[in-house]
């Protein structure tokens, strides 16, 4: 990531992607800012008029009139300022709601949803950068824009006072632009690298927290401490580099503030002495340009905020970059029956050619790689290099992917979503009843275990399934399948943890519902279904008897040893 080009164009792209959809709020805030900046000129202009009026007339009426007019203008400024704050609060809520919704959609529609398998689970930590964006945009749209706009108006106004001010202001703008050009690109790049170092540290700490005590030994503890030292040193080094850019830039702005303030007083006083400038003009110019100079001194802190915003936008852009599934071709269509057929399906060097009749249930001995690939193909998480996958007599690619996955269930992982047991079972169907839930968990042998939990069905599960152990987690998933009654069900060897007799009874109930089942197992001698099947990457074969299937396994083992 650090090797790729990072500059203004990339920063603009990230900001457009993250903040762009909510720009109407920002634009409205900027409009308020323009009005406020123009009205803020009322104070210095009123002072100039007051000085000239008192000097020439010495009457109280112009004083009170001018003061009343100034009060009205400043009250209008206060009202617009309050409206600007309110609009930015709306922006923060809108940004949060939109980004959370988009992250959810992109995670659900991810081409490969197994983020942990690819060591990408920490990508969702980027969500916390949303808080930085929420705070940085209002700060820049209100504070930084006000400084820039008031400075621009102030420089334009004072440039008409005297040719000296025109040249002075042009030199000031050139200095500010030079400071920005010299240090901005390096600051953006170092801010992104610093943010990446922060997330690398967070990923490491997250892995330590999920190690389940692995590092609580003298041998492993040293590794953990060394790794923590490494990520800490990396972060400190990146922070030092970023600070070097931003501090130098801030120092340049502060020096510009000091030199410009002193130069204005000295050169403006010289013009008065020569009679080329009135006292009122100098006082007004001092008031206006002092605010400009003070704004320049504050630019360093606002640019720090801007660099943090760019870095956070880059992190959030990783969520927008998650590869997505191709759009559904035929929305609303699902398989009509539970027959499965794979013709010449080739993926990652494996080839599948076999068919399962609707409602057929096979005891399957599977090579681990073939089992994984078939599961990915049936769930449409991967698209084969070539070949045809048919469910219910139709091409799988023509189905609504989400209806398809409701009808094709693969249970091959011991992890589960972090919800309560009741919520997990309720997701099986919109109209599932409590009675049906109890019947399902009773069928898989979990009723007594769940009843023993302090919160029963309302027990919240961890991603690992705790407080249930692996076999119980897989049984709970099977109970969910009983409620769903999918057209196709593929079970992994993890179901060898469930007693064979109970598993057979559950599958018999699913057969009554017409579910086609592939039961991958390491104990074919204990289970009898409709037939026996061997699943390998290069070939798939049916067997008439259990003995033939077991014999084929022994032949393969003997060939492998020889």
Burial class (CB in 10 A: 0-12, 13-18, 19+), 4: exposed
3-class SS string, 142-173: HHHHHHHHHHHHHHHHHHCCCHHHHHHHHHHH
| Mean pLDDT rounded to a whole number for the chain | 85
pLDDT tops 60 at residue 540: yes
How far apart, in whole angstroms, are the C-alpha atoms of residue 105 and residue 128?
Answer: 17
Answer with the residue of higher pLDDT: 383 or 192.
Answer: 192
pLDDT class for 328, splitting at 50, 70, 90? low
Q: How far apart are CA 341 and CA 112, in angstroms?
A: 23
Between 243 and 110, name the one with better pLDDT.
243
pLDDT band at 562 (very low <50, low <70, confident <90, very high): low
* Residue 2 confidence class, pLDDT cut points 50, 70, 90: very low
What is the separation, in whole angstroms, between the first and last Cα of the chain? 47
Question: Which tens digits make up the pLDDT trace of 280-297?
Answer: 777 878 888 888 899 999
What is the mean predicted confidence (pLDDT) over 123-135? 90
Integer Cα distance of 357 and 554 in angstroms: 28
Dihedral sign (CA 249, 253, 255, 260): positive
| Mean of pLDDT values over 449-473 | 91
β-strand 394-395 against 516-520: which pairing, if any? unpaired
DSSP type of residue 82: H
What is the pLDDT at residue 56? 63
Over 50: is that where the pLDDT of 1 sits? no
Q: Which residues pair with 541 in a beta bridge?
A: 534
pLDDT of 265 higher than 90: no
Burial class of residue 397, CB neighbours in 10 A (0-12, 13-18, 19+)? middle
CA distances from 137 to 15, 208, 308, 371 (A): 10, 34, 10, 49
Average pLDDT over residues 304-310: 95
DSSP-assigned letter for residue 524: G
Mean pLDDT for 331-350 is 82
Share of the chain above pLDDT 90, in %: 42
Residue 556 reports pLDDT greater than 70:
no
543 to 345, 530, 551: CA distances (angstroms): 22, 11, 10
User: Residue 558: what pLDDT?
Assistant: 53
Does position 547 have pLDDT exceeding 80, yes or no?
A: yes
Q: Compute the half-sphere exposure of residue 223: CA atoms within 13 Å on the CB side of its CA.
A: 11
Q: Are 509 and 529 in contact (CB under 8 A)?
A: no
Query: What pLDDT sits at residue 376?
Result: 86
Statement: residue 391 has pLDDT above 80:
yes
Q: Pick 461 or 37 by higher pLDDT.
A: 461
Q: What mean pLDDT comes out for the span 344-372? A: 88
pLDDT for residue 439: 92
28-42, 114-128, 269-283, 453-467, range with the lowest pLDDT: 114-128
Q: Over 50: is that where the pLDDT of 353 sits?
A: yes
Please report the pLDDT score of residue 158 as a whole number: 85
Residue 541 has a pLDDT of 87
Question: Looking at residues 350-359, what average pLDDT do you find?
Answer: 90
Structure pTM? 0.79
Residue 19 pLDDT: 92
User: What is the pLDDT averaged over residues 163-186?
Assistant: 92
> Kind and range of the H or E element at 351?
strand 350-356
Give the 3-state secondary structure of 51-63.
HHHHHHCCCHHHH
**Highest-pLDDT range among 68-82, 87-101, 200-214:** 87-101
Cα 236 → chain centroid: 25
The 3 state secondary structure assigned to 447-516 is: HHHHHHCCCHHHCECCCCCCCCCHHHHHHHHHHHHHHHCCCEEEECHHHHHCCHHHHHHHHHHHHHCCCE
Nearest to 511 by CA among 534, 541, 540, 531: 531
Residue 327 has a pLDDT of 65
- Domains of the chain from N-terminus onward: 8-320 (1.20.1560.10), 340-561 (3.40.50.300)
At residue 52, does pLDDT exceed 80?
no
List, for residues 424-453, the tens digit of each pLDDT value. Answer: 999 888 788 889 999 999 999 999 999 999
């Amino acid at each position: 990531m650090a090797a790729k080009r990072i500059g203004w164009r990339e920063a603009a792209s990230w900001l457009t992607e993250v903040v762009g959809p909510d720009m109407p709020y920002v634009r409205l805030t900027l409009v308020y800012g323009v009005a406020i900046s123009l009205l803020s000129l009322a104070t210095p202009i009123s002072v100039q008029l007051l000085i000239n009026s008192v000097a020439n007339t010495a009457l109280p009426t112009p004083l009170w009139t001018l003061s009343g007019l100034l009060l009205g203008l400043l009250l209008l400024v206060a009202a617009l300022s309050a409206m600007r704050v309110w609009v930015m609060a709306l922006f923060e809520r809108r940004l949060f709601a939109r980004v959370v919704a988009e992250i959810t959609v992109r995670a659900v529609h991810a081409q490969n949803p197994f983020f942990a398998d690819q060591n990408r689970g920490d990508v969702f930590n980027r969500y916390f950068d949303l808080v930085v964006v929420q705070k940085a945009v209002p700060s820049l749209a209100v504070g930084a824009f006000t400084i820039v706009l008031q400075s621009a108006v102030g420089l334009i106004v004072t440039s008409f006072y005297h040719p000296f001010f025109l040249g002075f202001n042009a030199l000031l703008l050139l200095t500010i632009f030079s400071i920005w050009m010299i240090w901005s690109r390096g600051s953006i790049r170092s801010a992104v690298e610093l943010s990446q170092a922060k997330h690398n540290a967070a990923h490491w700490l997250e892995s330590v927290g999920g190690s389940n005590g692995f590092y609580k030994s003298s041998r492993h503890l040293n590794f953990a401490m060394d790794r923590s030292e490494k990520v800490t040193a990396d972060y400190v080094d990146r922070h030092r580099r970023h600070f070097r850019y931003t501090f130098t830039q801030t120092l340049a702005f502060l020096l510009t503030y000091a030199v410009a303030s002193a130069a204005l007083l000295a050169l403006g006083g010289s013009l008065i002495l020569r009679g080329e400038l009135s006292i009122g003009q100098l006082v007004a110019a001092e008031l206006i340009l002092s605010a400009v100079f003070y704004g320049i001194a504050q630019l360093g802190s606002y640019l720090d905020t801007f660099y943090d915003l760019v870095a956070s936008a880059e992190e959030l852009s990783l969520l927008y970059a998650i590869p997505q599934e191709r759009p559904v071709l035929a929305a609303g269509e699902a398989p009509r029956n539970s027959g499965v057929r794979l013709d010449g399906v080739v993926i990652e060097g494996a080839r599948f050619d076999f068919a399962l009749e609707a409602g057929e249930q096979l005891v399957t001995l599977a090579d681990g790689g073939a089992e994984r690939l078939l599961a990915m193909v049936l769930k449409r998480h991967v698209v084969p290099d070539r070949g045809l996958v048919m469910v219910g007599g139709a091409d799988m690619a023509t189905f609504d992917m989400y209806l398809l996955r409701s009808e094709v269930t693969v249970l091959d992982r011991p992890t589960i979503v972090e919800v309560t047991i009741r919520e997990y079972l309720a997701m099986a169907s919109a109209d599932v009843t409590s009675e049906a839930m109890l019947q399902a968990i009773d069928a898989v042998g979990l009723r007594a275990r769940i009843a023993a939990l302090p919160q029963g069905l309302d027990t919240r599960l961890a991603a690992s399934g705790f407080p249930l152990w692996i076999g119980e987690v897989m049984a709970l998933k099977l109970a969910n399948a009983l409620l769903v009654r999918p057209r196709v069900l593929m079970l992994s060897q993890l179901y060898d943890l469930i007693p064979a007799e109970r598993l057979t009874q559950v599958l018999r109930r699913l057969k009554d519902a017409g579910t086609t089942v592939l039961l991958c197992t390491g104990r074919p001698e204990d289970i009898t279904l409709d037939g026996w099947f061997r699943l390998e990457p290069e070939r798939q074969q049916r067997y008439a008897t259990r003995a033939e299937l077991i014999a084929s396994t022994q032949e393969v083992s003997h060939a492998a040893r020889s």
